[in-house]
Chain A
């Protein structure tokens, strides 16, 4: 049981390049999340997917797109990377019951450290 996995672990991009961060979970959770972690800003939600086939914006969605490929996988795409997107990105998943979060633990991936020059 690998939990939540993310690829790649590290990435360096030039301004304007594009890339996709991959996330997968094997816990049969129905909801998945993408966060960015910046010093002094804490964890900020970029996008989330409450269930397969749905996605919603979080706190800081500009410059990002997401795809909920299936129940297991939730990818984050940067179409034209900017230095302001230099950050550590975390994927997470949890189980929703009847569309509502219950007191189940939210599980996090190991993170992707992205640098945009």
Chain B
């Protein structure tokens, strides 16, 4: 299985700040990576697919980048509604695997 190492596990940031979440994979996944966020009590929601493509309806302050085994999600100008847990997921190999998650809180 491809191992997903996501960091940091938790993050505290202020409104308007830029935050970055990293995801490292145990082997090359050729940009077959998605990012999701999950607000408390809700289902996960797709933010980014194919490492850097913005999903429909997702605000442009979210962006993804990376290649090979290193990927990142950036949130510009943090808003209160961005408080959530964030997960990366690879879909290059079966079984699909998820990162352990990053809990983003407001400072």
> Are the chains A and B members of one assembly?
no
B residues at A contact (CB < 8 Å): none
A residues at B contact (CB < 8 Å): none
